[in-house]
Amino acid sequence: MPSSPIRKLVPYSEVAKSKGVKVYHLNIGQPDIETPAVALDAIRNYSDKVIEYSHSAGVLSYRKKLAGYYEKIGIHVSADEIIVAAGASEAILFAMQSTMDPGDEIIIPEPFYANYNGFAVNSGVIVKPIPSDIEGGFALPPMSEFEKAITPRTKAIMVCNPNNPTGYLYSREELELLRKIVLKHDLYLFSDEVYREFCYDGHKHFSVMQLEGLEQHVILIDSVSKRYSACGVRIGCMISKNKEVMATAMKFAQARLSPPSLGQVAGEAALDTPDSYFVSVLEEYLSRRNLVVEAINKIPQAFCPNPKGAFYVVARLPIDDSDRFCQWLLEDFDYNKQTVMLAPATGFYATPGKGKDEVRISYVLNLDDLKNSMICLAEALKVYPGRTN
């Protein structure tokens, strides 16, 4: 089981803090945005005398309300096409284990969310990475790369849109290309769309569920964690119109009994979050993105694409080894008793040796903290012993 590049450096940050160093956490996608009041109030006002198991697929009223949410954004699904899960994480596990046997293969453009590797290991599934590159902003790889990766054991393609860790937003045209290859080779298409609400510069999100003719192929993964800044309630969902897939997934859902009941209370209430919440959140993230991208691109020999979605960037830095650099920041460096915690990009690649000069940065801190963290990063790169030119 691979270690999480996002969490494996936590012991070093704890030691740094014990020495009085302020650590700016840019390593993890934990927003500091307040959870919507409607969700918090629903938990506070919970009055049942017993916190019971729910239906294994999730509370019916919640699933019906979720179907209404998707209807508003042009995705037509019913309550029985939704299985509520313990976060998107469990939903991905259900999807993999319901569609693939041990030894089967899934194609994922890299870099990709590190835990996809872990979910694949858990499921006995083999990840076949295909490269996207920082110079192209991590756009979807050419179809020729997908074709080269397909074997008789290939069962699925997976994308994250907007992307974690790169922030890249796949266009409708790119997804239409995926549609063609999925139909040509009779594959499943998994789409992790947990950052759907966070698209910038006037760009709009287009869901794979809106692609024609893929009803039996698409599995949508979603979550309340980032949308409503409610990571700890552990509520997500798996959605598909493929009845056989959903019937199989229900067996896995029954085996774990039910998703978190109180989490579903919060998730259902969160669907009443006013649009004004997302307007202000989007403005805040846009300001943060602009600050981080501008600051990194001012650093000599550093480069950061300008992402159109989510709240992450992958930046290329003049460093010899991102794992060593990220540990050094916590163990051996501080600037005015401050340092930054980053995620080494090596953990977001399945290809050995890739990401050694890249880091993922989550711009989930307020603007003042982000500004200070970027100053720390610039100062660190001036004195890092493994700096490259």
Q: How many CB atoms lie within 10 A of CB 12?
A: 17
Task: Quickly tell me which residue has 């179907």 as its tokens.
Answer: 67
What's residue 1's pLDDT? 84
What's residue 6's pLDDT? 74
Look up residue 48 and give its amino acid. D
> CA distances (Å), 371 to each of 238, 281, 287, 293, 345, in order?
37, 18, 11, 11, 22
Q: How many CB atoms lie within 10 A of CB 145?
A: 15
Query: Which residues touch 281 (CB under 8 Å, ≥6 apart)?
Result: 33, 197, 198, 229
Whether the CB-CB separation of 132 and 140 falls below 8 Å is answered with yes
Pairing assessment for the beta strands 312-316 and 343-344 based on DSSP bridges? unpaired
Q: What is the helix (H) or strand (E) element at residue 363, kind and residue range? A: none
The mean pLDDT values, 10 residues at a time, for the chain of 389 residues are 81 95 94 96 97 97 98 97 98 98 98 95 97 96 96 98 98 97 98 98 97 97 97 97 98 98 98 96 98 98 98 98 96 97 95 96 96 98 93
CATH 3.40.640.10 in the chain: give the residue spans: 37-270
| Token output for 149 | 């990766």
Whether the CB-CB separation of 295 and 306 falls below 8 Å is answered with no
CATH 3.90.1150.10 in the chain: give the residue spans: 10-34+276-383
What's residue 5's pLDDT? 74
Q: How many CB atoms lie within 10 A of CB 239?
A: 25
The sign of the CA dihedral 384, 385, 387, 389 is positive
Indicate the CATH number for domain 10-34+276-383: 3.90.1150.10
**Residues 40-43: contacts with CB under 8 Å, at least 24 apart:** 40/266, 41/269, 42/265, 42/266, 42/268, 42/269, 43/262, 43/265, 43/266
Indicate the CATH number for domain 37-270: 3.40.640.10
> CA distances (Å), 137 to each of 110, 170, 250, in order?
12, 11, 38
What's residue 319's pLDDT? 98
The sign of the CA dihedral 15, 367, 134, 166 is positive
Pairing assessment for the beta strands 188-192 and 218-223 based on DSSP bridges? parallel
Whether the CB-CB separation of 47 and 365 falls below 8 Å is answered with no
What's residue 2's pLDDT? 80
Whether the CB-CB separation of 254 and 243 falls below 8 Å is answered with no
CA–chain centroid gap for 372, Å, is 25
The Cα–Cα gap between 241 and 27 comes to 36
Query: Which residues touch 53 (CB under 8 Å, ≥6 apart)?
Result: 257, 258, 261
* In the chain, alpha helices (H): 10-18, 37-44, 60-72, 87-99, 115-123, 143-149, 172-185, 243-255, 261-270, 275-298, 322-331, 367-383
